[in-house]
């Protein structure tokens, strides 16, 4: 069975965790300002898991212009009968606001499976969300992602399109 479809089944648990993290962070949000200016670097990390396995990811972003981040992400998923590595370059625009920073972005992702059961594949996606300040240069990113596998192996194209929450802890310096 295709793992992209299986990962969507844990959406309810992921959404519950997402809402719990959001509640805790909204209570502790400070009005401190982080920087999103040209030349700033941002590092973020994320992860998740279900009965299928677990995954970890990290992203490094560089602000090429004020509010415009070029990023490179690397993720690893350990699943039932395979593992996969995801390489994800992307662009994000962070909108200036007082107590939080909404963002819009796009990305390309290459999936490398570690065995011959599945073929390596590619996807593209878009994201929207916001950064909430947790400290002077520490933020919690919460948003939603829409992703589509480009070389869909299924007759029903909906099996290769996914919408899911995203959350991350980001440090800016």
Domains in the chain (CATH in brackets) are 3-172 (2.40.160.20)
159 φ, ψ to 5°? -70, -10
153-to-24, 132, 150 alpha-carbon distances in Å: 40, 38, 9
Q: Is 60 exceeded by the pLDDT of residue 12?
A: no
pTM of the predicted structure, to 2 decimals? 0.75
Distance CA 5, CA 118 (A): 14
Q: What pLDDT, in 10s, does the model give residues 101-158?
A: 899 999 999 999 988 778 899 999 999 999 887 777 888 889 999 999 998 877 676 7
């Amino acid at each position: 069975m295709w793992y992209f479809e299986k990962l969507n089944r844990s959406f309810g648990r992921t959404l519950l965790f997402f809402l719990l993290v959001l509640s805790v962070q909204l209570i502790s949000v400070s009005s401190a300002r982080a920087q999103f200016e040209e030349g700033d670097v941002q590092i973020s990390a994320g992860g998740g898991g279900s009965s299928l396995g677990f995954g970890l990811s990290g992203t490094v972003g560089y602000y090429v212009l004020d509010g415009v981040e070029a990023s490179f992400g690397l993720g690893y998923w350990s699943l039932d009968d395979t593992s996969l590595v995801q390489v994800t370059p992307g662009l994000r625009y962070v909108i200036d606001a007082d107590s939080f920073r909404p963002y819009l972005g796009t990305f390309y992702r290459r999936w490398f499976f570690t065995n011959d059961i599945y073929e390596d594949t590619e996807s593209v996606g878009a994201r929207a969300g916001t950064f909430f300040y947790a400290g002077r240069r520490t933020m919690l990113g919460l948003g939603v992602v829409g992703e589509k596998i480009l070389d869909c192996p299924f007759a029903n194209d909906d099996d290769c399109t996914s919408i899911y929450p995203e959350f991350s802890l980001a440090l800016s310096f």
